[in-house]
Structures are given as structure tokens and as C-alpha cells.
Structure 1
Amino acid sequence: MQDLKDWHSQHSEAVLKQFEANPERGLSPHQVDRQQAQFGPNAITKHDGDGPLKRFALQFHQPLVYILLSAVVVTLALQEWVDSIVIFAVVLLNAIIGFVQESKAINAINALSGSIKSTATVIRDGVKSTIPAQQLVPGDIVLLQAGDKVTADMRLVKVRDLQVDESALTGESVPVEKNLEVLAKEALLGDRQNMAFSSTLVVYGTGVGVVTETGDNTEIGKISEMIATTPTLDTPLTKRIKQFSHVLLYAIVGLAAITLLIGYLHGQPLLDSFMAAVALAVGAIPEGLPAAVTIMLAIGVSLMAKRKAVIRNLPAVETLGSTTIICSDKTGTLTKNEMTVEQIYSGGLLYAVSGNGYDPEGEIQAQMPQSELQSAAVDPSTQPGLYATLRAGALCNDAQLMAPDTQNAQWRISGDPTEAALLVSAHKANMASGSLNAKRVDCIPFQSEYQYMATLDDVDDARIIHMKGSIESILPKCQFMLNEQGACVALDQEAIEQQVERLAAKGLRVLAFASKATSQEQSTLSHEDVAGELVFLGLQAMIDPPRPEAIEAVAACHRAGIRVKMITGDHALTATSIAKQLGIIQPQSAGKTVTGYQLGDLSEHEFSDIASYNDVFARVSPENKLQLVKSLQAEGHVVAMTGDGVNDAPALRRADIGVAMALNGTEVARDASDMMLTDDNFATVRAAVEEGRGVFDNLKKFIVWTLPTNGGEGLVILLAVLLGVSLPLLPVHILWVNMTTAILLGLMLAFEPREKGIMERPPYDPDAPIIDRILMWRILLVSSLLCITAFGLYELELMWGATEAQARTVAVAMFVVGEAFYLFNCRSLDRSVFSVGMFSNRWIWIGIALMMALQLLFTYQPLMNDWFQSAPISLEAWLRVIACGWLISLIVGVEKHLRGRNKTSQATSDTNTNRVSESV
């Protein structure tokens, strides 16, 4: 048997002949057995990859986890069982979260596998029967009718008004009318009208097809393979944490070795030197960091859920803050997914229709001929041509428009969205079909080969034929047209065709309307009755309009330095029109709309240039979407991808953050995503980006706050070793400070409100380190201040006769109080604590109160004294600790003020320089 493969470019007879299939009798049992042996079941192969145990074990294969596991070993060696349990619990929690996140890819494949577990009606050996879809083989003759799910790829051999919803596979926003015409080999997936594809849905008519591909060889099977072989990428945060972890790992090992060496050179016992090295390592390890990051991300998840964005992957919260490009699907995300009539042409006049969607609120306004200048609203009853056009749209119609009720707060439709749009435009003129005093006598349903629908109606004691359809099918049948006064005049075909071109150039879908009076005795309607002598009434032009909130969201993204690219399976004209309305294509933009066909034969370099330069991509395939995302990532961008269909799943999985639609999205898209929108609205993506930036800000503030603790503790140990004195802090003290302050103080930064202007600044550079030079200087400054004050107070207490336990308790208190004072300075990394507002985050005060209560227990509770080798201290010691803490806060505040003033002076200088340059 030959391997033709390009089934859409072959005659149906040739395809049948290749499979030795008879369209009337189907395959014989022998042929079915042979095909099943060759091709196997009609099922998508599962790609489970590594087993669950191995995937779970790999969660521990990270540098930061190695550090934490080392801390577990150290604390076990010190017989600090509670600390060991706490640190190991942190490690285990992070491993569980990572394991769950990684499992989403397998869920996506399983969802695909389940998507074809249904039945099919076939003809085999001359008998029609229903079989499980898994038993289909290439060459099977399959019968299709409205409501059927297509369960394999097939070349159509018969069609009757067949329309298939392919939105899940191609992104096409309206059902595709199928035919039997032979197509060019280069025809894109969305243009193959002679094929029916697995996972799509028959919405109208009937058809017969011969199965050409099953299982993994179907178009949905190819997408499954792409998902399975598309790796997920590290988020900017996980990349930065890995880099930070490597640096920290080397630093800790190096400092511990230096400490051991210095102790040995000072002649200290080897055990004492080893314990000092252990104390330094424990101090330098940020034990609370992974848990705090996880909890802060979880809080971000909760905040986003309130804004209708459900996060499935915790690091995705932070990724949103670094997003530089959003690749968005059009239908239902940027648009309302509700066809709306926007313009009407009749009697030589153009009318604008206001309002959006299926809500019949709006009015009809007359426009100057061939102009966009609107005048006041018109009364359709005084405009004969307009009235006749609206009436034809309402009567030649099988849809229903349903008003809000107790169970549904919005207007809904039943039937074809295009016909529903005609009902809505009639409602806006107070012309509901029920109020037109009309009764249908007979009807010619819409048929794809005729491209029109016709009804025979009794209207006000007259019998009238109404027609609607494509301009190509209606105009040749018309001999007359209505003028502005409603009189019949000779048809001006050229003027009508020019108006159609103008409307189509705006991306509008144009329907033509005509009518013909007939005798009262006529009771049936045939195609011969509408073959000629009709009166052209007018045109209604409609589009799936952009969401008003999406227009503002796109503008907000642009202000935030985020480019928005539309990647859709829809037609180029429609995509261009919507993109202009949304502001994706701006008047000064030199970019254009690129089609999937144009992307097909480009080199990698040419593809990269086009992907970066242009912002609208139409009629794209799943491979195109995936390639676009990869290309943009190769340029260094952090890419968010939105989608709802099976065709979007590979790109959703590859993107830095995949965003699926929860309302109307497919299960496959949802399982391949990191985030879901519960309202399917692009404006929610913008809100999520805003929340993501706030979460990343707070994460950065936490890291800047927590690292001085580790730095200060390490410096204290190193200084003690250099001076050859006893350690001011024991390992158990360090663990106490690190764990309690991280939870009770640092985590309070998670509730810090978003800073003003957060969406007016550019995205975070994904390649930039978490801590820049300025913040690194601040961390070193605070680390040094904590070291000096803690070590100084420790030595001072010993000098004044305090016991070693009391002196160490003072050193511990200095770290706790110092971190509490420093916490206020971390609420903003560049503004003073007073400009932020002392009481704008009440959780800060709650955390400090709880931490102080716990520290008092640490200091004065006998049991805690036994566990942690602490001791009660005097009021004077507390006053000295508080004074030092206040001093640290003051020094950091002055440093921030000086840097802010220098920054302002530099900005003023740059502005003046620019002005001089411009004047020159």
C-alpha cells in the first residue's frame, strides 16, 4: 500500500482506493484484523517517563537541599532532635511540592489519552454498527452527525451541511464548513475543509469519512508527542535560587575550612575547632529560606485566587513578575467570544451599532455615506431599508435569545452565534422576532453548497421570502435594491461590493440579506423560488469584539514594559482588526500580521527576527505556537502563554508560565498550564502580573532581610575563632534565631502591600541576580553591624561579671532585636519606613509581638534555659540591646536616604544633559 499521507491533497476516491475501502460496505473482517495488526489500537501512547519514586528522589538533587541535609546531619550529631526534625520537614515539604508540580505533564498526557475514549458509528462488511473508538483502524468508513465527537483523523467522502467545531485543535473561533474539494499540499491545518480531525465536534449536518490516521499518528497524537518531549523550564526564581545556592555552598564550605584551620593554628583542641566550624556552617545556612519562600508563594497564590487566577505551580507566582512577553490567544481571552453586529449597510447608508455581546443594550446610529462620522441614534421604523434588513435577520433565523432569569444573570443564546448576533441587532431596534407579527410557513435550511438560508414568512398579511447568506450567493440572485426612501431601484452591484470590501478589511464577517414578495397561495419553498428577481436589502457586518477591560489591560502591560503578542488560529484580517482595536498593533507600529503559512519555510534566524519584530500571528499551527515560544525564550524573554485548546498545550507547557482558560478551556490545556483564569479574561492576566510583581518584591525584601542574620552569625563565629575566645553563639542558638525570626518576622513581609507604580516599571531582568550590588552592600553593612553589636555586648556582659550563658543570651537577643528593627527598613528597599507608613502592615507588629514573647520565654522560662543553654538577663541588658537595634535601623535609614538623594541628583543631571543635547 502506498503512503500518500497528504490526505487533503488527494481525491477521496484515491484515498478509498489506497485503503481498499468501499464507502457503501466498509472494510471486511479480514481487512480490519490486518489493519489492527499493523496499526494497533486507536489510542494515544502514555509517556510516563521516570517512575514516581525516582521523580521524588530527584527533588533532593539540588545544591540548597544538600546544604539543608548537611544541617540535618550536623544537628543530629549535636543531638538537637527538634531542630533536626524541623529542618528535615522543610526539605520534605519542598520535595513534595516539586513532585506534585512535575506530575502535571503526565496528567496532560493522560487527559489526551482519555479524550478519544468514546464510540464511533462505522460501516463494516455492509453493516452499520457502533464500536469503541479504540477499535477504529485506517480505512474504516465512519458516519458523522451533529453532536458526534470525531474520534480519528479522516478524509471526508460525503458531506451534507457538515460543520465541525475545531476550536480545541486549531483555535478557529467559528465552526468550519466542510466540503470535498481537493486542496493544495501546503494548506494549513485550519484550512483543510475536506478533513475531520480527532477530538473535534460535529455541530451541524452529516458526513461520511474514511479513517486515514489513528492513535499517535493523528494530529492530536502529534500534539501529545510534543507535550511529552517538551521540557518545562526553570522559572527565574528557581534559576536565581540555584545560582545563589551554589555560591552559598562554596562560601560555607570555604569559611568552615578556614575556621577549622585558624582554630588549629591557634592550638585549640581539634574538637573545639570542629564545633566552631559546625557553628559557622549552621549560622551561614538559611534554614528558614525554603520554607519562607514556599509560604510566601502560597500567600501569593491566595491573593491571585481572589483576582480570578488559580495557580497550579507555586514558582509561577514569581515568574509573572518577570514576564517580558505575553503571547495571548484571541477568542474568548482578548475577545468576548460573542459575535456582535457592529455595522449595517442599507439604502446607500451606513449605520453603526453600539453595544457588545448578547446583551441587547445599544442603539443604531446613522453615519454619513462612506464615512465613520456618527450622528444621533435613528428610529429604524423611519428607515425602510434598515428596517427591512433587521427584520430579515430576525425572521430568517433559527437561534434563540434568552433573557436573564433567577438562575442566569446574563443574556444567553441557543443556536448559532452568528444568527444570535442578528437577533441582538434587531432587539436593539425594538424588533424582537416575537413582536414582528410574523409566522414562518416554510424554510430552506442553510446548506454549505448553497451558502444561504431562506424562509417563507407571513408578515402583516403578506407572504414574503427572506434570505440571508454570503454576498457571493445572495448578490447574483438580486435584480433590485432598496434606496434611502425604501423604493426599489436597479441594483448597483459595484457599490455594494465596494462596501463589502471595506467592511471585510476591518475583519468583519459580512452577511447579505434579500427578500421577495410572493403569492398568498404559496406554501412551500424551493431553491428555484429564490433563483432570481430578489430585492437586495442590505448588509450586516459582525465581529467577536474585544473585551473593553482587555483594551485597558493591554495598555497597562505596554506601560509596564511587557509586549503583548496575539497568536491565534483565526483569519489574518480578523486578527489584524482585533489587534488594532486592542492596541496590540499601534498606528506607529511597523509590524504586520504574519500567518502560519509564511512561517513555514523560514530559517531559524529569519524565524527569530519575525517572532521578535511582529506582534500578531494568525492561522498558526500547534508547531508554530511552540516554535514562537521557543524563539522568544532564546532571545532572553520570559514568556507567558495563554490558551484554551488542545493545540495550545505544547506551547503552554514550554512557556515560562502557561495560562489556561478554566471556563471554556480543554482539560488538556488546563493540565499543561501553570495558571488558570476562572473568568477566561485577559484582564486577569494583567492583574496576575501585578500580583506576581508584588510577590517577587516581597520575596526580594525577605531575602535582603534574612541574609544579614546568616552573615552576622558567621562573622561572629569567625571573629571569635580569630581572637581565640569562646563562641558567643552556640549552634543551637543560631538555629533558634534562624527558624523563629524567619517565620515570625520575615514572613510578615509577605503581607506587605504592593508598592505604588509597580506596573509603571519595566519587568525584572531574568538574567539579573536576586541581589544587586547596592543590596549586597546593605547586606554586608547590616551583617557587620549585627556582628559588632552582638560580639561587643557579649564581651561587655562578660566584663561586667555576667555568666557565659547570660552573655550568650544577650548576643541571641541582639540578633532578634536587631532583625526586628531592620525589618522596618526592609518594607521598602529604597524608601524610608515613614513614607511606607508605620501601620500600613499590621502583621509586622503582630509578628514582632509574638517574636518578643517567644524570646522572653527563651530567656526566662527554666525549661527553655535547659534546652537552649540560655539564662535570665537584666533590664539594663535589654535596654542596651534595644539601643543597638535602634542604631542599626538609623544607620540603614541614613544609607537609604543618601542613596536616594544621589539617585535623584543623577536623574536630574541626565535630564539636563538630554535637554542640552536636544537644544544643540
Structure 2
Amino acid sequence: MSAEPSFTDYHTLTSEEALQRLEASASSGLSDDQVSLRLATYGENALVGENGVSALKVLIAQFTNVLVVILAAASALSFAVKDFAEATVILLVLFINAAIGFFQEYKAEKTVESLKKMTSPNAQVLRNGTIAPLPTSELVPGDIILLTSGDVVGADCRLLETINLETDEALLTGEALPIHKDYTTVCKTDDSVGDRFNLVYSSTTVTKGRGRAVVYATGMSTEVGKIAKKLMAGNKKRKTKLAKSLDKMALVLLAVAIVLAIIVFAANRFKINSEVILYAVSLAIAVIPEGLVAIVTLTMAIGMRRMSKQKALVRQLNSIEILGSVTDICSDKTGTLTQSKMVLVRAFIPSNELYHIDGLGLEPIGNVYKAISSNESDSTINRNSKAEVLVEDSNMSPSLELLVKGASLCNNAVLKYDNETGEWSSAGDPTETALQVFATKLQHSKEILVNRQGYKILYEYPFDSGIKRMTVIAQSPDGTVFAFLKGATEKITECCTQSPLNPEIGVNSSSNLYSALEPHIESMAADGLRVISIAYKIISPSELECISSNTPREQIEQNFNYIGMVGIYDPPRPESRDSVIKCHQAGIVVRMLTGDHPATATAIAKQVAIIQDSKRISDKLDSTSVGINNLVMVARDFDAMTIEQIDALPELPVVIARCTPETKVKLIEALHRRKAVVAMTGDGVNDSPSLKYADVGIAMGMAGSDVAKQASAIILTDDNFATIVRAVAEGRRMFSNIAKFATELIGSNVAELVCLTVGLAFRDLNGRTVFPLSPVAILANNMLTGTPPAMALGVERALPENMTNPPRDPAKGLFTWEVVSDIIVQGAFIGGISITCYWLRLDVFGDGNLGSGCNIGYNPSCDTVFKARGVNFACLTLMILNFAYSCRDTRRQTLSIPMLKRVFENRGLVFSYLLAWVITMIALYVPKVNTSIFKQHYITWEWSMVFIAFIVQFIFDAIYKYLKQFIFPPTFRATQSQLLLQKSSQGKIIEEK
């Protein structure tokens, strides 16, 4: 290209000027050489987020922590004193931990990086004269793309051709209704983004029609890219409570390790030699849980993959931790709680005609029944009643036929049947699709009327979001010209001056007509239906002569006859109700934020159990409050409230209708002031602030914008509320498992610390400390009792009460008083029992001879010491593995029947236990390995001491867990909002459970 294109003024150019500036051909597109050059110039068409994954950086990170430094120093020291066996074991420990950390962290990072590819749409691109689908990431300025209904626009483009094209730009501008596009328009320089009708923008969707456009901006140069830059500016990652807890723990344990090293030196009267240094280093390593960070990463990576399989893609690993603390889920309605499948289920005509329509989905199969009564409040459908009329093409009333023709002709949706798959598909707006399915059920589809019966579409005035209506002028086979009008009832009645179908309705004003229809509108909305009205008029030949494609629609859209209204239903997902009930049982409040009419929102909220007690909908607040209904509110009322008024509410609304992105942010702020942890869903660019401000931002993968996805922590690939609940359950399971293995891992270190520190009191004939375990035995014990069982606990299945317990209080972090108690009490007891067995074998069942030089190697005087070390190693190693089983459930008795039934359920833990026994046997009974490396002897009758220690451990564990229920009673962490919501349900939640 001769010059870099300007990305700011294409709306001021004609389509020909845009093509000329971009040096592009509308008939053949770009050549491969042009694409390569422009890709090198402008880069990939993608929003820039975090940097790509670097394997080298992840690997280096594994060798830049305190543990690795200590291990490396210990290994170097062992090599220096030519203790190669010990040095090899230490290096093995170092590289095993580094390998675990590297592979798990790298895999997790690659999973996050692949997220963009999984959510990237394709585009139909014209290149080298051929149209082919390509990933939008490969688009470059000058590419010619084809747009059809349902497409996601891949880049910012100047339109070259439009046929009834409309795009949904709500994610960019906040405009709720689609925007009509016209390629012939040349806009002014100062026109806003929403007023540039000759442009389409990246990440917006085509809701109607088709078009052709030339790409002029890609990646961060697009409008959404500009917003993304602002979102990323100064965006720093904040550490979670878990990360902070681990940081504090690391500092504390490092300090303890240093103190213990000094104690070892002092116990040896600061006569420091290689053996003393190695023991001090080994003791320091025993204090630091070397596998903890790697296992946390592993557990979260596994959880990340599990959630991915369940349609939830995790972008930020730390969000999994926060999920376990969520107290409030603020969810959209359409497509999340509902199926986003518009189905027309009711039709009402003022001439006392009410119809109910069977059949769901796109397949135009289902009966149309006439109700016994036209009064919607008491209408009944009894399919065995003789008074009921099955409506067919042959017996439709004139008014119903007009309604059906209007729904069919004033419509751009297309139904298609695939003969190969036997399935129906649609192209077009979901609402229009529902109308077309209805008309097809009565054999009045647009395809039948136009292609078979001879109707002709003469003129069309597309749907305008400003006036919320669409008009079509069509000519029937007999020459009669009809004008059909479709849209929102309040906008349709503005154009009506007659309603001959029901003379009882006076129409001397549009407001009078709307007032007469309002009870029926409210009745449909109360059932969760979206109401669309249809009107018609006959155009005389003389009037038709005065109409052209340039005739203003205002001239056409007057003096219509009102025909009737239809109710379109977006059915709730079958799993939504059960999922909401699960949230109630878990102490989580579900809040629905929707742009729908309050009555429609309330109806859906009842159906999915967000509102459990209908009586409370009409309740008013007391005299001290603002005097509005606070369970279901309209956004304008909530937005108008001051912070003081909101905080004075006994509970915040659970349903907000006509919701805006600003309302979402205000609600999050209110919830945060009440110490709530909030998960918020969103799909548009203007939802990005609320997604980032929420504790967990959840973007829609199917309907969401790229910017919303980038601002979120989790992306739902199915836009399903049930997936959110599964993600919360997974977050709870994961954090519970982190607490379990942290307890086991640090508890085992405490056991080692107690045993090895108390063991410093034993001295030989020369007054030197006789170590209760050799440095290699310490490292082996540390590896066997640390990483393998902790990894197994990390994948432990959820406890039965996982989603019936209340949310975890995030302020308490990982190391609650109960966790700290488990670590110290259980760890100290195990260490105490182990060193007691060491002492018993030395002084009670032995001769008490500690020999000389037993820290260096074996000699005849060390026989008793080596036997005692063998007992100590077996006791300490295997009791810690028993403790790991106890950590599977820190409340239930380890030897209870339910727990014994699950003893082989966790295969990783079974493997860890067997591995510990195998290594213990090798360390005790393989010649040379036992005496030269582990510096201990095999044991025989001493196994009775080990098994008695097991019995004592299990008895203590049972007593401790029994006492815990009194020391740490379960607490229900519930906000006032949750308590009121549970009270309002009047026991219905318990019954559902």
C-alpha cells in the first residue's frame, strides 16, 4: 500500500473512495502477496492481551524461589564433601519439583492462550476472486468480507453493499435495538460511532439482511480495540487471599528454618562440620513445603480443565479460588437463564379471539388451538372440549388470516429445511423467526405466499430501533395492495385510527386504543411473554401511484387498522430452576438483571425460582425506606436512589428490569458495601467495567464481545446459568482441596520439625548430637509424605455438603483457625509419637548406647542408633500417610463406615500410600542402601511398635475430630439479604432439597 490508512475518517468517504484509498478490488479482493505484506505491516487481527506463553520464562521461574536455592546449596555442599549419594538424592528432589511446577504451569498458561482461538469466529472473505471462510484473526485492511444475518463482524469495515442490513451494536454503544445500515450514506466528520450508518464494527453482530464491506481497521485499531487499550491501561494483577496467605506462610516458614538451623548449630556447640551443616540444611528443607506452590498450580490447572469440559473457560486461575466465596450471582436472562429460542405461543385478536400455539423450536409443527374464552385471565385450553376449534388453513377466521399474513410478510427471517440432516435452521432475527414459524404452521409462510400464491413485496421500510416498527407493502394475487405494520404495541397503536375487528374498542385516540389493549399486554407479560402487535391497511391504486422507494415512511405509517398481538416466549432452560435452587441451598443469592419489561422479568424469575414467594412482590417497604418495591425493581428507580437509600434497604432487589450496564456497576458497589462476593455476567463492551469490578467477571462465549471476554475471568462457552453454578461448585471443591493438602503438607512438616528438633537432645559419647534421621532419610520422608499425597488430595472429589454449606468467608483466607489447629495439633502429635518410638527403641528396649560417629556412617557401636532410626523412619513416614487419609475429610471420622467405603476411591492417595511402603521397605532392607545412604538398619519385632503407634494415632484422630465440632462449630455466613430471602421462601427451598 502506498500509505498507511487513516482509521478515523472512513465514514466520511464514499465506498469507491474507501476502496481507492485501501487499494482494494470489490470484485476480486486482495491477492496472497498483498495479504502477506499487509499482515506484516498491521499484524494479526486480534486484541492484545497478556503476552504469549514463554516456556523459558516458566522454566526459569521454577528455579527462582527460596526452596530451590536451599536445595541447590545443600547439593553443592554434598558434592563438596564427596557424599555423592546424598547429593544425587537432593538434586533428584530439586528437579522433580521443578518438573512438576514447569509442566503444570506451562500447560495452564497454554490453556489460557488457546482460549482466544476457541472463541474466535470466522468470516467469509473474498481473496483472489474466491470467497472462502477464514479466521477473523487473518483479516487485513483491504479485505472484502461478506456479511449475512447472524455473522460476527470480524473487523471495522466500510460498507460497499447493503440489503436490509442491520447490526446489533449494543456491545459497543449500549443501543439495545439493531441499527439499520446504508452503504450509500456519507456521514459527517463529527458523527458519533453510533451514527456512522455506513460502517460496521468489529465484534458486533448482523441481526438482519446481508452486505459486503471492505476492512479498514483491525486489531487494536478498531473501535473495540480502543476501548480495550483503556481497560488495560494501568491494569495490575491483584493477589488473592490465597496468594497472600501462601506468601505470609513462606516468610514465616523461612524464618523458622533459619532459627532451626541456628538451633542445630547451637546444639552442636557451634562445632560445625559437613554433617552438621547437611543436617541443618535438611531440617530447613523439611520445614519448607517445597511442593505446595506446584501442587496449588496443579490443582487449579486440573480444575481449569474440568471446568473447560463443563463449558466454562477459565482465563485467570485465581478466579477459581474466589468462586468458592461467591455470595451473589448476578445473571442476565436471555440465553443464560433462558434458551434464547423465541417461540410464539399465544395470539390475541380484539374480536374475542385468543389462540394458543403448540410446538417448540424451529420445526413448524404444532397445533393452533382457539381458547374457550377470549379473556386471558380465565381462558382455558381443554383439548378434549368440543368447544375448542383446531385452526387450519380452511377454517381460519378472516382476522386470524390477516394476523398470520402480516406476521409472515412483514418479516425478513428465512426458515430452511435440510433434506440431508432432516433439521430446520433459520437466518434472521429470533423474534422474526418465531413469527415465521407460527405462519408456517398455518401454511402461510413467506415462501408459500410469495413463491406459490403470488404475493409480491413492493416496498419495505425496515425495522427502526428509534420507532420500533417495520412496514411492508405487498400486493396479493387478486391485485389488492396491503400495508402491514409490525412492532411494539405502543408504537403500533400510534399509527392506528381504526379497529373494525372489535367495534367495542373506541379508537378516537391512539392512547385510548393502547389503554384498551393494556390489560392483555400485561397478561402476556406476566406469563413471561414478549408482546408484538400487527396492523394493516389497504392501499388504493391512486395512493399506490404516489408511493415510491423515496416516500417517507411517516407518510405511509398512518391510518392503520389494528389486527392483534402475539406473545413470544423465550423458555427457561430446563436446568435453570434446579441450578437456582442449588444456589439457594448453598447460601448464594441469584439476581437477574435484564432489559425486559418488569412483568416479563418477574414471570421468568418465578419460573426459575429466583422469586419463591409471589406475595412479596407486592409488599412495600416500611416508612423508613424509600417506599418502592425492592424485590423487583426497574433500573431507572434503582439508579435514581442515593447510596444512603440503597444501603437502607433491608435487602437489595433480586430482579432488576430494563437494566443498563451502569445499573450493574451500581449494584456491585452496593453488594460490596454489604461485604458480598459477586459473580457478574456480561456480553458487551459496555459491560466490561462491571465484569472487571465484580469479584468474578463471567463473559458469554457465544454472544459476548471480545472485549467483554478479555475483561472477564471466566468465559461460558454455552452461555448457560447452570454452567455458572457448576463453576461455583468446582471453585468450592478446589479451595476445599487446597485446604486439605495444605493441611497435610504443612502438618507433615510440623511432624518432621517436632521429631527432628526434639531429636537434637540425644548425644553420643563425644557429646555430639546423634541425628534421629539422616539428611537423606529426611529428604526421602519429605518427598514421600509431601508431594504425592498432596497431589492426590488436590483431585479429591467434592464432599456431599459442598453445595449445601454457606459461602466461605474470603476474609479468613486459607489458614483459618481450624486449619492452623489441624496443622499444629495433628502434626505435633505425629512428630511426638515418632520421636517417642525412637526413644523407646534406644533407651527402653535398647541398651541406650548412642555409639560414636553414627552421623557419618555405620560402625558396631551404632547398631542401636541405626535400629532406632529405622523405627523412627517407618513411624514418621507411614503415620503422615495415615494423616493424609484423615485430611480427606477434616470433620468425619477417618475410620467411619462412609469413609472406609471410599478408602480406595482416590487412586492417587492409594498409590502414594503404597509407594511410601515400598520406599520404606527399600530404605530398611536393601543392603548398603539402608546403612550407607539412609544410615539406618532393618527392623523386625520393632514393627509392633509401629503398628501400636498407628492405633494410638487413629484414637487421637477420632477424639480430636469429635472435640472439633465443639471448638469450631459450623457457622452460617449469610448476609441480611440471604437471610430475608430464605425466610421469604417459607420453606420451599427445603422442600425442593
Q: Compute the TM-score of the two structures, normalised by the length of structure 2.
A: 0.71
Structure 1 position 685 matched with structure 2 position 724 = yes
8 Å contact kept, 1:59–1:99: no
Offset, 1:808: 1.6
- Matches of 2:314 and 2:971, distance apart in 1: 41
Cα gap change, 1:172 to 1:330, in 2 (>3 Å): farther
How far is the alpha carbon of 1:788 from its aligned partner? 2.0
Task: Give the partner amino acid of 2:630.
Answer: A
What amino acid sits opposite 1:250 in the alignment? A
**Residue pairs, 1:664-743, within 5 angstroms:** 664-666=703-705, 669-670=708-709, 673-724=712-763, 725-743=769-787
Q: Shift in Å at residue 114 of structure 1? A: 11
The aligned amino acid for 1:807 is A
2:514 corresponds to 1:511: no
1:765 aligns with 2:772: no
Match of 1:502 among 510, 522, 525: 522
Which residue matches 2:876?
815
Report the counterpart of residue 461 of structure 2 in structure 1: 447
Query: Displacement, 1:640?
Result: 3.4
Tell me, yes or no, if structure 1 residue 71 matches structure 2 residue 71. yes
Cα distance change on mapping 1:807 and 1:607 into 2, 3 Å: same
- 1:379 is aligned to 2:440: no
Of the candidates 882, 885, 890, which is equivalent to residue 955 of structure 2?
890
Do the aligned residues in 2 keep the contact of 1:325 with 1:564 (CA within 8 Å)?
Answer: yes
Alpha carbons of 1:644 and 1:565: their partners in 2 closer, same or farther (altered >3 Å)?
same
SS in 2 for 1:875: coil
How far apart, CA to CA, are the structure 2 residues paired with 1:517 and 1:114?
Answer: 45
Give the equivalent residue in structure 2 for 1:806.
867
Choose the corresponding residue for 1:556, options 570, 582, 587. Answer: 582
Q: CA deviation at 1:469?
A: 0.9
- Say whether 1:542 aligns with 2:568: yes
CA distance in 1, matches of 2:664, 2:932: 60
Letter in 1 for 2:572: P
- Given the alignment of the two structures, is residue 467 of structure 1 paired with residue 475 of structure 2, yes or no? no
Provide the C-alpha distance between the structure 1 equivalents of 2:471 and 2:586, rounded to a whole number of angstroms.
Answer: 48
Using a 3 Å threshold, how does the CA distance of structure 1 residues 24 and 86 change in structure 2: closer, same or farther? closer
1:790 Cα deviation after fit: 1.6
- For residues 818 and 561 of structure 2, what CA distance do their matches in structure 1 show? 77
Deviation at 1:848, TM superposition (A): 2.4
CA offset at residue 852 of structure 1? 1.7
Return the alpha-carbon distance in structure 1 between the equivalents of residues 420 and 157 of structure 2.
44
Moved more, 747-756 or 626-635: 626-635
Cross-structure match for 2:130: none
Which residue pairs with 1:590 in the alignment? 630
CA contact (8 A) 2:331 2:593 kept: yes
1:590-613 Cα offsets, whole Å, 9 max, x none, are 1565659986x9999999999994
Distance of 1:668 and 1:778 partners within structure 2: 44
Instruction: Determine helix, strand or coil for the equivalent of 1:164.
Output: strand
Aligned to 2:229: 225
Give a deviation string over 1:445-486, Cα, whole Å, max 9, x none: 64236722344445xx997847341243577356344359xx
Q: Which moved more, 1:681-690 or 1:725-734?
A: 725-734
Report deviation, 1:783.
1.9
SS at 1:729's partner residue?
coil
Within 5 Å, give how 1:301-450 maps onto structure 2. Answer: 301-347=304-350, 348-351=352-355, 357-358=361-362, 366=371, 371-377=376-382, 378-381=388-391, 384=397, 385-386=399-400, 389-390=403-404, 392-394=406-408, 396-402=410-416, 407=421, 411-426=424-439, 439-444=453-458, 446-448=460-462
- How many angstroms apart in 1 are the aligned matches of 2:572 and 2:219? 37
Distance 1:445 1:309, change over 3 A: farther
Change (3 A) 1:195 1:614: farther
Change in Cα spacing, 1:451 to 1:719, as seen in structure 2 (3 Å) is: same
Question: Structure 1 residues 420 and 672 mapped into 2: Cα distance closer, same or farther (>3 Å)?
Answer: same
CA distance in 2 between counterparts of 1:105 and 1:58 reads 17
Return closer, same or farther for 1:730/1:438 CA change in 2, 3 Å cut-off: same
Shift of residue 728, structure 1, vs aligned partner: 0.7
Mapped partners of 2:197, 2:54: distance in 1: 47
Aligned to 1:123: none
The answer to whether 1:295 aligns with 2:335 is no
Shift of 1:713: 1.0
> How many Å separate the matches in 1 of 2:153 and 2:301?
41
Tell me by how many angstroms 1:41 deviates.
8.2
Instruction: Give the Å deviation of 1:336.
Output: 1.8
Matched, 1:281 2:289: no
SS at match of 1:541: strand
The alpha carbon displacement at 1:310 in A equals 3.9
Preserved contact between residue 357 and residue 366 of structure 2 (Cα < 8 Å)? no
1:820/1:610 Cα in 2 relative to 1: closer, same or farther (>3 Å)? Answer: same
Aligned mates of 1:534, 1:508 — CA distance in 2: 25
Question: In 2, Cα distance between the equivalents of 1:906 and 1:753?
Answer: 23
- Cα separation, partners in 2 of 1:716 and 1:374, compared to 1, 3 Å: farther
Aligned match of 2:254 in 249, 256, 265? 249
Query: What is residue 265 of structure 2 aligned with on the other side?
Result: 260
Quote the offset at 1:816 in angstroms: 1.9
CA gap of 1:268–1:112, structure 2 versus 1, over 3 A, is: same
Paired with 1:787 and 1:649, the residues of 2 have a C-alpha distance of: 52
**Conserved? CA contact 2:265–2:272, under 8 Å:** no
Q: Partners in 1 of 2:175 and 2:601 — Cα distance?
A: 11
- 2:239 maps to what in 1? 234
SS in 1 for 2:347: strand
Q: Are the aligned partners of 2:155 and 2:215 in contact in 1 as well (CA < 8 Å)?
A: yes
Once the two structures are TM-superposed, the CA of residue 325 in structure 1 deviates from its matched residue by 3.4
* Rounded Cα–Cα distance in structure 1 between residues aligned with 2:970 and 2:787: 39
**1:56 is aligned to 2:57:** yes
Distance in 2 (alpha carbons) for counterparts of 1:157 and 1:605: 53
Matched residue type, 1:746? A
Q: Following the alignment from structure 2 to structure 1, what is the Cα–Cα distance between the partners of residues 193 and 330? A: 20
The separation in 1 between residues aligned to 2:292 and 2:970, in whole angstroms, is 36
- CA change 1:57–1:665 in 2 (3 A) is same
1:881 to partner: Cα distance? 0.7
Q: Is the 8 A contact 1:354 1:363 kept in 2?
A: yes
Match of 2:838 in 1: 794
Contact 2:121 2:152 in 1 (8 A): no
The code of the aligned residue for 2:204 comes to T
Q: SS of the counterpart of 2:93?
A: helix
Give the Cα separation in 2 of the matches to 1:629 and 1:516. 49
Question: Structure 1 CA distance, aligned partners of 2:309 and 2:367?
Answer: 32
| Corresponding position of 2:498 | 479
Alpha-carbon contact 2:532-2:566 (below 8 Å) kept: yes
Partner of 2:91: 84
Structure 1 Cα separation of the partners of residues 186 and 19 of structure 2: 24
CA drift of 1:282 comes to: 1.4
Percent identity between matched residues is 28
CA contact (8 A) 1:232 1:654 kept: no
Q: Secondary structure at the match of 1:375?
A: coil
- Tell me the distance in 1 between the aligned counterparts of 2:116 and 2:445: 47
CA distance in 1 between counterparts of 2:439 and 2:146 reads: 34
> Which residue identity lines up with residue 429 of structure 2 in the other structure?
D
Q: Which amino acid aligns with 2:261?
A: A
Which letter does structure 2 place at the counterpart of 1:244?
M
Q: State the one-letter code of the partner of 1:796.
A: L
| Distance in 1 (alpha carbons) for counterparts of 2:536 and 2:704 | 41
Aligned residues: 862
SS at match of 1:333: coil
